[in-house]
Structure 1
Amino acid sequence: MDQAVCCYRHPDRETGVRCTRCERPICPECMVSASVGFQCPECISESHQSSPRPRTVAGGTMVANPRLITTILIGINIAVFLAVQAQGSKLVADLALVGAWPPPPFHATIGVAEGQYYRLLTAIFLHQQLIHIGFNMLSLWWIGPGLEVALGRARYLTLYLLSGLGGSALSFLVAGAGSESLGASGAIFGLLGATFVLMRRLNYDLRPIVAIIVLNLLFTFAQSQTIDWRAHVGGLVTGTVIAYGMVHAPRERRALVQWGTCAAMGLVIIGAVAAGVMRING
């Protein structure tokens, strides 16, 4: 007489069904319907872990929270803004970007030319007025998540930071001597340029994003006495170039092209800053 076969997870339950992958006996409670027959819970779990995660057009992985990096960036900006409100103009003077123009005999006494390179980064998280940070953070909240999903978190964060640094570099190179530049606008313009590239890659209607970019540029130049157009243009160009390399990179060399584009733009930024320092220090 044949010995009764019991479920491997429930030894007290007889069964005549086996997992189609590992052939272990499974009872009705342990059966998981598969494309062919039934599988046990362990095999189903292993198949989920081994199956590749879906990728976006730029190679980003699908995530549960598409606003994680965007929320962190907004949080940093708000934290710095609150610190400015508490410390006053002294903190702004310590963190803002100072222009490098005109050439010698002008000599800078503070800023990047004196080795304070951190100002290139701190300036893009620095705001003084509520309307300034409010507009920038609303723009980041609206624009950021779509790019965060499409590019992936690491690429998105790199795009944001390099766009901001690109704006800072151009501002430092050609802004008036002693003029202060601050705000996330350069990084936001970089995200606008990246959105244009992504929408073009996906064959979306480009008219809305083109209209937004043009209107923002018109407003920027119309208010050039109070708005640093150099940071906006530098961020826009940097973000557009980086995004093009990210979304048009061939799949077989995707990482090489994407990070190579970022490295190339990083070198351009370094070159612009070096040129500004050389101009001041003669």
Structure 2
Amino acid sequence: MSEAPSTAPVCYRHPSRETYIRCTRCDRPICPDCMNEASVGHQCPECVSEGKRTQRQARTAFGGSSIGRAGYATQALIAINVLVMVISAIAGGPRAIAGAGGWFGLMGDDTPVTRWASVLGYAPYVLGGPLHGIAAGEWWRLVTAMFVHYGVLHLLLNMMLLWQLGRYLEEKLGPLRFLALYLLAGIGGNVAAYVTTAPNAPAAGASTSIFGLVLAMIVVNRRLRLDVTQLIPLLVVNLIFTFSVPNVSVAGHLGGLVAGGVVAFILAYAPARRRTQIQAAGCAAVFVVLLIAAVMRTQILLG
């Protein structure tokens, strides 16, 4: 005599397995391998995936993504700077790393990479050669200059500060807002160097962005009502360094400081209502002002 077929429900993903457990969201039967613990009961894999897609992402105090806690943007910026230094050393030889003079002989030499990427107003690389620079249409220099360095010491000093300041600010602002701050501070410093220094004086380094991050930390901490007394000495020391060490772009450092402070203020003090739109508009306005300053300087040099 044959047995009556089983009427027990089976897992919708594993039909050979009987189960009396059901997903609390879709009510489909699920076996132990398909169960995911929820606040109430268990959920199936599909409902868990759907919940992750529709779940509202956690935000920082300034509207940024909480993924900034991982510091991916800071790590990426450091990786780009190191990679450019490696390429510069390959193109320029050992003296691109150190031993070319400056800072007790520890600075690196000029290379084809630094010549191509640094801030240069309007001048030839060699006497009698073709004119190069931003006024000659090489506008990329306003961005690329913040990623090239004259030697490993120059690179290490900037990357140490970027690692310390960048991770903190990226956590507070989120990666996208932090990148906007970093890039606009760097462009601000490079525009300041372009506008105020001699057209044949090159300038490069991440310090334009770094100075912006220093003031940004003060602005952000003030907005969060945190103590800023320990940050003031850092700013003062960097300013003393700027004005006392030869061959340092004073205009670039101060321009990055001001631009970074302005952008940080926009990001930190934008009202919660329509915050993202106001932050985006404010950052765009800073970029437009910098662009206008660069265009006016170009007209002067070409006039």
TM-score norm. by structure 2 comes to 0.80
Partners of 1:176 and 1:17 lie apart in 2 by 77
CA 1:129–1:20: 2 relative to 1, 3 Å:
closer
Partners of 2:249 and 2:68 lie apart in 1 by 37
CA contact (8 A) 2:242 2:250 kept: yes
CA 1:13–1:233: 2 relative to 1, 3 Å:
same
Tell me the CA shift for residue 28 of structure 1: 5.2
CA contact (8 A) 1:58 1:247 kept: yes
Does residue 19 of structure 1 match 2:19?
no
CA contact (8 A) 2:67 2:175 kept: no
CA contact (8 A) 1:5 1:14 kept: yes
Partners of 2:167 and 2:53 lie apart in 1 by 26
Does residue 202 of structure 1 match 2:206?
no
- 1:1-282 → structure 2 map (5 Å cutoff): 3-27=7-31, 30-63=34-67, 66-88=70-92, 89-91=110-112, 92-99=114-121, 109-223=131-245, 225-282=246-303
SS in 2 for 1:63: helix
CA 1:5–1:119: 2 relative to 1, 3 Å:
closer
CA 1:29–1:58: 2 relative to 1, 3 Å:
same
CA 1:227–1:16: 2 relative to 1, 3 Å:
same
The structure, 1 or 2, with the larger RCO (C-alpha pairs under 8 Å, 6+ apart) is 1
Comparing 54-63 with 225-234, greater Cα deviation is found at 54-63
Report how many residues are paired. 274
Q: Considering only aligned residues, what root-mean-square deviation do their CA atoms show, in Å? A: 2.6
Q: Which structure 2 segments of 5+ residues have no match?
A: 93-109, 123-129
Partners of 1:83 and 1:12 lie apart in 2 by 59
Comparing 86-95 with 24-33, greater Cα deviation is found at 24-33
CA 1:74–1:44: 2 relative to 1, 3 Å:
closer
Identical-residue share of aligned pairs (%) = 40
CA 1:18–1:127: 2 relative to 1, 3 Å:
closer
Tell me the CA shift for residue 35 of structure 1: 3.2
1:116-162 CA-to-partner distances (Å, cap 9, x unmatched) read 22222222112112211110111111111222232222222222111
TM-score norm. by structure 1 comes to 0.86
Which residue identity does 2:229 align to in structure 1? R
SS in 2 for 1:166: helix
Q: Which structure 1 segments of 5+ residues have no match?
A: 101-107
Partners of 2:41 and 2:280 lie apart in 1 by 45
1:191-239 CA-to-partner distances (Å, cap 9, x unmatched) read 112222221222211111222112211221122x321111111111111
